[in-house]
Amino acid sequence: MELSQIFRKPYIFWLIGIFIVYLLINIFVSGFYNTIPLIINYVDTVNLFKLSLSLIFSIFIGILVSINAVISYLKYKERKKCKEGIALGTLGTIGGLAVGVCPLCITGIFPLILSFLGISFSFASLPFDGIEVQLFVIFLLSAGLYLLKRD
């Protein structure tokens, strides 16, 4: 299977659709829509470099999630075994949703789950304000894509 196959009809529509749905779910679950007015109101105090970097990483994660999903489907259709690639792709997708759009601005799923257990945690407490988690998710999705692409 060639990578160019996913950029042909009908798979290109699936790529775009999965990308849009993933970003919408990520925005909704992370509550980033509540953060946008705050960013506008407090633009002087916001680190725009970290915010921009985080948004770029979120878009890149969405692209990788959609590519992984379409390639997983094509591999499944060809009846090829690709458990490792699908597992890493799924883990990366869940990790991307856990981090949210901007790990510094919002809560995300992981800190929310920990808060139910009485543990206070924010990605802002990490050395690079959660951007390192996004890089790890990009690594997981890239590794999953490599394993899926491997014959």
pLDDT, tens digit only, all 151 positions of the chain:
567 788 888 889 999 999 999 888 888 877 777 777 877 887 788 788 888 888 898 899 889 889 888 888 887 777 666 666 667 677 677 777 666 666 666 555 666 666 666 665 666 667 777 788 888 888 888 888 888 777 5
* Segments making up each domain of the chain, as ranges: 3-149
**32, two tokens:** 């980033």
HSE of 123 in the Cβ direction (CA atoms, 13 Å)?
27
The pTM (predicted TM-score) of the whole model is 0.80
